[in-house]
Structure 1
């Protein structure tokens, strides 16, 4: 067997050894959010998300998210997202449940909300043990509507080796939640001209799927300047796509490693 062939075999087995035995390092993942909703319909407030181990549960279907008590208020983490697009409670709750979670946000390319037809993305370093993706984003205009996953293990993005195995998922209008925490009132709604989002009227109902009540805002002008029309949404209307891509992709890493080893071999022979 000649030296070149020996080197080639050593290179191949070397790569196999490196990729199978190396410790799992942080994986860079590009997360892309697309607002698929029709023009003049819903926008998505800043998109809050995290990669974790599947423990953090920010809300549950048919459970009350906002409970008024005699001395205190018990509030599910999703409420600050549902009522104002804020992660002020959601992120700390996520971090408390999962101290090693990787958390971030995606804003729109022109204004914080992601408008119909717009695409926005970010790259985040993810610990490969954080295999599950959890998100929440307020649907606007509204008082407390949102998109998010009730199950913390609904979206398994990474496998046990840190490879991206879920390319994307899509949500349609039937997956829009009503947090049940605030009554529908345009005067208090987010993303409407004249709406004062800091004002609220307690509703105290359970979290349920509900996009029909967005009709309360029909004919009103949004902060982006268009007139809102909920009739453009039906049960099967796609409204959100979230995509995942490893940066760089595994094939690119292999090619770079092959090139480096080949260059070293050429230099040695020279």
Structure 2
């Protein structure tokens, strides 16, 4: 039986075959860019870092009319994901979580990239504190509200726009401008022990106060004012048919080399 020498070309073809096969197995993963934009008017609302999760819809962070739990309170009262991230992971161990941006001032944008499995991590959940406020936030009540991908891994939802009337009040902290984040001393906050509700109109009470960013706050919001947008864009992996052609071509090269050396 003849000994087959692995020439550099043959070795490279075999390695490429293995890499292509591995890529086929991961064809459901894609690089997703998430861009956030503060749409509030100048001198208006700012937002804490956006906490995001991509999962199967198991994590339900809060519910309208119910007492806010620790996960969403950590976001609403201080902009932190300290309780939100662990709760997400406990409810959905296969989820991918992360953060987009820092403090987002009026008119500003930020973005981050995530490698998402379009099959198992297709439901999108988000939360961010609204400032100035004591415990206002944006986020989705229904964990199944935002399905990003279809069965073929194609992006179905290019963006999410949040209106002023969709700003939540966690009901966990008493409304008090002197104790509100961004315009007061948030260490002075006190418990309210109420329930999650919509309450954007309360923001007008902060108008005229100096913010931590140096401008004088002016709410100037109507119920239908757009305040925040989340945009999605992806760079899909090559189609399975592309891999099939690559595998066939590499296989033909390897076979020819084997015959030539046989």
Structure 2 residue aligned with 1:121, among 69, 94, 111?
A: 111
CA shift digits 1:40-65 (9 cap, x unpaired): 11011110010010010010001111
1:35-50 equivalences under 5 Å are 35-50=38-53
Q: Tell me the CA shift for residue 216 of structure 1.
A: 2.3
Q: Tell me the CA shift for residue 76 of structure 1.
A: 3.7
Determine the structure 2 residue equivalent to 1:212: 201
| Aligned-CA RMSD value | 2.5
- CA distance, structure 2, for counterparts of residue 62 and residue 76 of structure 1: 16
Length-normalised TM-score, structure 2: 0.80
Q: Tell me the CA shift for residue 249 of structure 1.
A: 3.9
Structure 2 residue aligned with 1:53, among 48, 52, 56?
A: 56
Gaps of 5+ in 2: 1-20, 254-262
Gaps of 5+ in 1: 1-17, 66-74
Structure 1 residue aligned with 2:89, among 88, 95, 98?
A: 95
Q: Tell me the CA shift for residue 22 of structure 1.
A: 5.0
1:71-220 equivalences under 5 Å are 75-107=69-101, 112-128=102-118, 129-192=120-183, 195-220=184-209
Q: Quick check: 1:219–1:228 contact (8 Å CA) kept in 2?
A: yes
Aligned length: 227
Q: Tell me the CA shift for residue 106 of structure 1.
A: 1.1
Q: Tell me the CA shift for residue 83 of structure 1.
A: 0.3
Q: Tell me the CA shift for residue 197 of structure 1.
A: 1.8
Length-normalised TM-score, structure 1: 0.78
SS in 1 for 2:89: helix
CA shift digits 1:6-29 (9 cap, x unpaired): xxxxxxxxxxxx9xx755442211
- CA distance, structure 1, for counterparts of residue 63 and residue 27 of structure 2: 33
CA shift digits 1:177-232 (9 cap, x unpaired): 0001101112211112xx222331111111011101112211011111111111x1
SS in 1 for 2:67: coil
- CA distance, structure 1, for counterparts of residue 58 and residue 236 of structure 2: 28
Q: Quick check: 2:54–2:116 contact (8 Å CA) kept in 1?
A: yes
SS in 2 for 1:203: coil
Determine the structure 1 residue equivalent to 2:212: 223
Question: Does residue 238 of the first structure (1) align with residue 226 of the second (2)?
Answer: yes
